[in-house]
């Protein structure tokens, strides 16, 4: 695990140069990365559109507009001009009826330091929302990857099951002809029939899984036009570059970490603002008046200022505690992301190793089946042994398919978490 924490190429990678490929090639931006794991996924433009139309992304975009509006509101401050006036018609036995009026305007004034705090709170609120939008796109990309892989894998598995049914049907026809010619026993026909029934049940289950995977993908991404023929899952390969670079990219460009840090900073400035609010903002009042039908006129200046007490102290203490909690949460998220970065690399490496082993097993099983069928044709092998070997060969091919899919999923997840594909990174 320590090798993932020693990142000698950190500065080079963060600066944005192309990553040196394991075979001497290079890959730079997400759109230029060449990987078998991307070759059978939807096109980049389509993925970008699908992420933009995701409900979670749309919600995050609306929250970002809300944060931007809040930042503008905090920039101008909470105080507004207030107009006030009064008109009185007064009658006197000596002076008769007199019109009197008063008019004025008042406005609160932010004390020093509060405007800066409001600006910081608004700016960090926007940063939280921006990273929330990025994280929502990240989640949408992960969902698309998972559902797409589930669909193409289910399609391939259903194809394997259908091919097995076809093989058993041909085998049963040959066995029934041999029985009619007296070259095979009834028991042998029944053995093949039993194998065929099992294969048909497996094919029905695989078809159900295929339909469910296709429906789930289509419902979650209705704008995605699924091809009539699913893409073939290619052989996986390591992502271009060094494993340490990919590990570093997961840590260096992570919206969860940035969002948590921005939220901690926002809470810190909210605490400062609450501390400043222990001294309330004064309100300045300018007024003019006319009394006794114009015999008396005047102009005055006044102010009001609440006297802070236990309430303001409690609010400041609450904001300070929430800032401390947000700072702790940011540290925890960073630790979680460090674990996730380690896990991403380990799963990609182990997924590729598991597939290589499964592929070797599948090739060995295919060669064994050639020899066993030849031995059965020569009478050196019984039907029971042949059917058992065919069953094991089918399971081996299924295992290879699942391992191939898992390897692609692990490599894609590493690329997604590193924000090196599908425009997931920050501009």
What pLDDT does 382 receive?
87
Gap between the Cα atoms of 296 and 289, Å rounded? 8
Per-residue confidence band for 325, with pLDDT thresholds at 50, 70 and 90:
very high
Gap between the Cα atoms of 68 and 124, Å rounded? 10
Per-residue confidence band for 426, with pLDDT thresholds at 50, 70 and 90:
low
Q: Half-sphere exposure of 216 toward its Cβ, with a 13 Å CA cutoff?
A: 17
Q: Which residue has the higher pLDDT, 372 or 92?
A: 372
Which pair of tokens denotes residue 414? 């590493």
Mean pLDDT of the chain: 88
Q: What is the pLDDT of residues 27-52, one digit of tens each?
A: 334 457 889 999 999 999 999 999 99
The Cα angle at residue 193 between residues 189 and 195, in degrees rounded to 5:
120
Stated pTM of the model: 0.83
Per-residue confidence band for 361, with pLDDT thresholds at 50, 70 and 90:
very high
Question: How large is the average pLDDT for residues 138-157?
Answer: 97
Length of the chain: 427
| Structural domains of the chain sorted by starting position, each given as residue range(s) with its CATH number in brackets | 2-79+135-278+314-417 (1.20.1600.10)
Q: Which residue has the higher pLDDT, 426 or 138?
A: 138
pLDDT above 90: residue 282: yes
Question: How large is the average pLDDT for residues 135-151?
Answer: 96
Q: Which residue has the higher pLDDT, 18 or 304?
A: 304
Q: Half-sphere exposure of 268 toward its Cβ, with a 13 Å CA cutoff?
A: 12
What pLDDT does 173 receive?
87
What pLDDT does 298 receive?
84
Exposed e or buried b for every residue in 174-184, given b needs 16+ CB within 10 A?
ebeeeeeeeeb
Q: What is the pLDDT of residues 261-278, one digit of tens each?
A: 999 999 999 999 999 999
Q: Which helix (H) or strand (E) holds 108?
A: strand 96-108
User: Distance of CA 77 to CAs 12, 107, 281, 384, Å?
Assistant: 43, 11, 11, 85
Per-residue confidence band for 320, with pLDDT thresholds at 50, 70 and 90:
very high
Selection from 220, 39, 43, 233 nearest residue 147 by Cα: 220
Question: How large is the average pLDDT for residues 249-253?
Answer: 92
pLDDT above 60: residue 16: no
Per-residue confidence band for 157, with pLDDT thresholds at 50, 70 and 90:
very high
pLDDT above 90: residue 339: yes
Per-residue confidence band for 53, with pLDDT thresholds at 50, 70 and 90:
very high
Question: How large is the average pLDDT for residues 345-368?
Answer: 96
Q: Half-sphere exposure of 254 toward its Cβ, with a 13 Å CA cutoff?
A: 23
What pLDDT does 309 receive?
85
Q: Which helix (H) or strand (E) holds 69?
A: helix 55-76
User: Distance of CA 125 to CAs 71, 128, 331, 334, 390, Å?
Assistant: 7, 5, 19, 19, 62
What pLDDT does 89 receive?
83
pLDDT above 90: residue 164: yes
Q: Do residues 164 and 202 touch, judged by C-beta distance below 8 A?
A: yes
Per-residue confidence band for 7, with pLDDT thresholds at 50, 70 and 90:
very low
List, in sequence order, every residue forming a beta bridge with 86; answer none if it has no partner: 102
Q: Do residues 47 and 31 touch, judged by C-beta distance below 8 A?
A: no
What pLDDT does 26 receive?
34
**% of the chain surpassing 70 pLDDT:** 90
pLDDT above 70: residue 407: yes
Question: How large is the average pLDDT for residues 180-205?
Answer: 87
Q: Do residues 397 and 369 touch, judged by C-beta distance below 8 A?
A: no
What pLDDT does 10 receive?
31
């Amino acid at each position: 695990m320590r090798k993932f924490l020693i990142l000698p190429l950190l500065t080079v990678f963060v600066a944005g140069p192309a990553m040196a490929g394991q075979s001497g090639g290079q890959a730079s931006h997400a759109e230029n990365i060449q990987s078998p794991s991307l070759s059978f996924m939807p096109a980049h433009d389509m993925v970008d559109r699908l992420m933009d139309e995701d409900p979670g992304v749309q919600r995050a975009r609306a929250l970002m507009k809300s944060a931007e509006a809040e930042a503008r509101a905090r920039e101008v401050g909470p105080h507004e001009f207030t107009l006030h006036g009064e008109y009185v018609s007064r009658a006197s036995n000596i002076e008769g009826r007199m019109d009197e009026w008063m008019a004025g305007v008042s406005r609160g004034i932010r004390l020093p330091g509060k405007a800066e705090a409001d600006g910081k709170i608004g700016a960090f609120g926007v940063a939280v929302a921006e990273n929330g939008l990025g994280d929502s796109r990240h989640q949408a990309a992960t969902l698309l990857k998972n559902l797409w892989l589930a669909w193409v894998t289910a399609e391939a598995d259903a194809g394997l099951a259908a091919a097995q049914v076809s093989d058993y049907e041909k085998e049963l026809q040959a066995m029934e002809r041999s029985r009619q010619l007296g070259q095979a026993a009834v028991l042998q026909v029944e053995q093949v029939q039993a194998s065929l029934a099992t294969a048909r049940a497996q094919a029905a289950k695989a078809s159900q899984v295929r339909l469910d995977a296709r429906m789930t993908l289509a419902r979650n991404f209705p704008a995605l036009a699924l091809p009539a023929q699913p893409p073939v899952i290619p052989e996986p390969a390591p992502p271009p570059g060094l494993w340490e670079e990919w590990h570093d990219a997961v840590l260096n460009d992570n919206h969860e970490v940035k969002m948590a840090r921005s939220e901690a900073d926002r809470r810190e400035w909210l605490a400062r603002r609450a501390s400043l609010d222990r001294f309330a903002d004064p309100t300045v009042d300018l007024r003019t008046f006319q009394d006794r039908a114009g015999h008396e006129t005047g102009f005055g200046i006044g102010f009001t200022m609440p006297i802070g007490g236990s309430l303001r102290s409690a609010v400041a203490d609450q904001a300070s505690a929430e800032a401390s909690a947000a700072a702790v949460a940011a540290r925890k998220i960073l630790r979680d992301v460090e674990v996730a970065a380690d896990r991403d690399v380990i799963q990609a490496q182990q997924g590729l190793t598991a597939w290589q082993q499964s592929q070797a097993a599948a090739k060995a099983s295919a060669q064994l089946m050639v020899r066993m069928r030849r031995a059965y044709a020569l009478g050196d092998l019984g039907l029971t042994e042949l059917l058992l070997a065919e069953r094991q060969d089918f399971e081996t091919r299924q295992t290879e398919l699942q391992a191939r899919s898992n390897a692609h999923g692990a490599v894609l997840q590493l690329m997604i978490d590193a924000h090196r594909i599908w425009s997931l990174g920050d501009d």
